[in-house]
Amino acid sequence: MKVCDVLIVDDEIKTRQGLTKLIEMNAPNWSVVETARNGYDAIEKMKELNPELVLTDIRMPNMDGIDLAKELYQEFPDTKVVMLTGYKDLKYAQAAIRHGVLDFLLKPCPEKELLKVLDKTYRTIMEEMKEREEHLMEKQLIDENTIRSLMLRLPYDHTRLEKIKKDYLQKEVLLFKVTTYFPKTKSYRSKDLSLLQLSVSSVTEELLEKFDLSGILLPVLHDIYAIFIDSHTPISSFVQTLSKTINEVLGITVETHQSGLIEDLVQIPIHLENFIAKRNHMNRVTISSEEMTDTNLKIHTLNQNKIRIVHDEIMSKMMLGQVNEVKSYINNYITDLKTLSMEDAKVEVLILVLSFYEIIQKELTENNPEVGVGIQISQFHLLDEIDEVVDWARKHEELFYKELNTWFKSKNENIVAKSIRYIEDHYMESCNLKEVANFVHLSPNYFSNLFKKEKSESFVNYVTKFRIDKAKLLLSNTEMKIFEIAESVGYDDSNYFTTVFKRLTKMSPREYRNQGSKKII
């Protein structure tokens, strides 16, 4: 679950502080990234932070909420705006709506109403994000089909090609063909074709990343793939490893051909035709209409994209420490398999398991296995019952959780240790919850809960005790004045420092010094 950033804008410091505390304590989907005292201040902070939401008062000096909303509407159109106002003024509401304000809250705003609006805004942002992702996926499919059609000399949208040609010019083209998906050494069946195509693509993309190559993988025909790779990188070692690895992990032989640099788009179909002609030892190339159909290729691309979607969904929850949400997502994913056909269920499970292995390799362990697809396919394609498929998925789910739990334990310990080192270096400054949470890249709410779980006391109590211990040292071993000691341990107000000191030690700073203690605390 994504955590969204909110910028609070109000000219009253108590309002800013109150809203910040309320959101950090009660809205886990939101993080107060910053506060601003007026519209001009907010605009400057927007340029750096670009939060998803601005929660702003209407009545402010210099630049009020209406002018701020107008500026945001023009410069940051994707940012949502919710307005706080103490004025039931239709004129203000109408002006604000014209500038894209999403909702209004009447001050003083009840906690329940604020959280309701935040929840509504969050759902709106998530829906729009999903729509953008779907649009990008559809665009990718269209772009891939345009290049595929160009390669096969089929009709294509010339306007679309003009827009995307920069992604392919000055790229090195590597073509490879699967000799057969059903070698005699393997017991693959025709209904395993989608699994095998997905596996070939997964191995290829994994190796591209391993070799640190930036490339576009495109299935051209059911058994021919093209990779467009940045030309400044030598690829001969990658080509050799690709053939060897696909054969080792899948038992499938591929033939490869480095076609050279693309300086003009007209070269792309020629590269493909030369590759097929060379392979078939003939000058004339014929491609059957059955091979040209893009239905299976579209499904293939969708499946490859879904690995990234599942991977990102699990990783986003992991990064927020949402263990239960991770388990709920995976459990629902596996439970839904029983509603699918056997072939579709197998593809979905392979997508999930490949996502598991990618996360384990990149995030959870330093002992990275090479490529995990082959062993998966060799076991998996033989399953014939949906319950067997589900059981197989559950087995890999259990293995994933084992790695995940080890990672979480190590990560939490490292985060808390890192935060404590930060406290030790910055206790004389503000060193507040939000500041330290930002330092360890967590939301304040999650960091607060994690710290309390690991240290058995709250973050605030830990920092307070640390500061008072430092103050004791100074009281016992220096002649510094009380207000100087207060400032040196992070308290701007010496009266407040005295109150806190007395609450923890049952005596005032002066009494502590006068008791003659010289012990090092």
Same domain, 112 and 211: no
Q: Distance between CA 62 and CA 83 in Å, rounded?
A: 17
Q: Is the peptide bond before 155 cis (omega within 30 degrees of 0)?
A: no
> Exposed/middle/buried for 14, CB within 10 Å: 0-12, 13-18, 19+?
exposed
Give, as one character, the DSSP assignment of residue 363: I
CA dihedral 281, 285, 291, 295 (to 10 degrees): 130
Q: Is residue 161 part of a domain?
A: no
Query: End of a domain among 82, 102, 130?
Result: 130
User: Residue 215 maps to which CATH number?
Assistant: 3.30.70.270
pLDDT at 381 over 60: yes
Residue type, 319: M
Q: Distance between CA 466 and CA 460 in Å, rounded?
A: 10
Q: Distance between CA 427 and CA 465 in Å, rounded?
A: 11
> Mapping DSSP to helix (H, G, I), strand (E, B) and coil, where does residue 241 land?
helix
pLDDT at 324 over 60: yes
pLDDT reported for residue 269 = 92
Same domain, 267 and 309: no
CB 244 within 8 A of CB 178: no
Q: Per mean pLDDT, which range of 141-155, 237-251, 291-305, 488-502 is the poorest?
A: 291-305
Query: How do residues 420-432 score in pLDDT, each as one tens digit?
Result: 999 999 999 989 8
pLDDT reported for residue 300 = 56
pLDDT reported for residue 288 = 44
Same domain, 102 and 21: yes
Backbone angles phi, psi at 76, to 5 degrees: -135, 65
Q: Is residue 181 part of a domain?
A: yes
pLDDT reported for residue 319 = 64
Query: How do residues 61-77 score in pLDDT, each as one tens digit?
Result: 888 888 899 899 999 99
Q: Is residue 377 part of a domain?
A: yes
Same domain, 425 and 335: no
Q: Which residues pair with 171 in a beta bridge?
A: 230
Query: End of a domain among 285, 320, 347?
Result: 285
Same domain, 316 and 261: no
Same domain, 358 and 313: yes
Range of the domain at 484: 413-518
Same domain, 267 and 298: no
Query: End of a domain among 232, 251, 285?
Result: 285
Interval 327-347 mean pLDDT = 90
Query: How do residues 83-99 score in pLDDT, each as one tens digit?
Result: 888 766 556 666 667 77
Give, as one character, the DSSP assignment of residue 76: -
Query: How do residues 406-461 score in pLDDT, each as one tens digit?
Result: 877 777 777 888 899 999 999 999 898 888 887 887 777 778 888 888 888 889 99
Task: Give the pLDDT band of residue 462 (cuts 50, 70, 90).
Answer: very high
pLDDT reported for residue 89 = 56
Q: Distance between CA 76 and CA 47 in Å, rounded?
A: 9
Distances 66 to 62, 63, 73, 85, 102 between C-alpha atoms, Å: 12, 8, 10, 11, 13
Task: Give the pLDDT band of residue 379 (cuts 50, 70, 90).
Answer: low
pLDDT at 117 over 80: yes
Distances 163 to 107, 143, 158 between C-alpha atoms, Å: 49, 9, 9
Q: Is residue 97 part of a domain?
A: yes
The rounded percent of the chain whose pLDDT value lies above 90 is: 30
pLDDT reported for residue 102 = 85
Same domain, 27 and 123: yes
User: Residue 121 maps to which CATH number?
Assistant: 3.40.50.2300
CB 211 within 8 A of CB 245: no
Same domain, 180 and 280: yes
Q: Distance between CA 69 and CA 6 in Å, rounded?
A: 14
Task: Give the pLDDT band of residue 31 (cuts 50, 70, 90).
Answer: confident
User: Residue 424 maps to which CATH number?
Assistant: 1.10.10.60
Q: Is residue 61 part of a domain?
A: yes
Question: How many structural domains are present in the chain?
Answer: 4
Q: Is residue 264 part of a domain?
A: yes
pLDDT reported for residue 8 = 94
Q: Is residue 80 part of a domain?
A: yes
Same domain, 249 and 271: yes
Same domain, 102 and 207: no
Query: How do residues 243-296 score in pLDDT, each as one tens digit?
Result: 999 998 888 999 999 988 899 998 999 999 888 887 665 444 444 434 434 445
Query: How do residues 124-164 score in pLDDT, each as one tens digit?
Result: 988 888 788 778 878 888 888 899 899 989 888 999 999 99
Q: In what helix (H) or strand (E) does residue 7 lie, and over which residues does it extend?
A: strand 4-9
Interval 485-511 mean pLDDT = 92
pLDDT reported for residue 281 = 55
Q: Is residue 500 part of a domain?
A: yes
Same domain, 310 and 263: no
Interval 364-381 mean pLDDT = 57
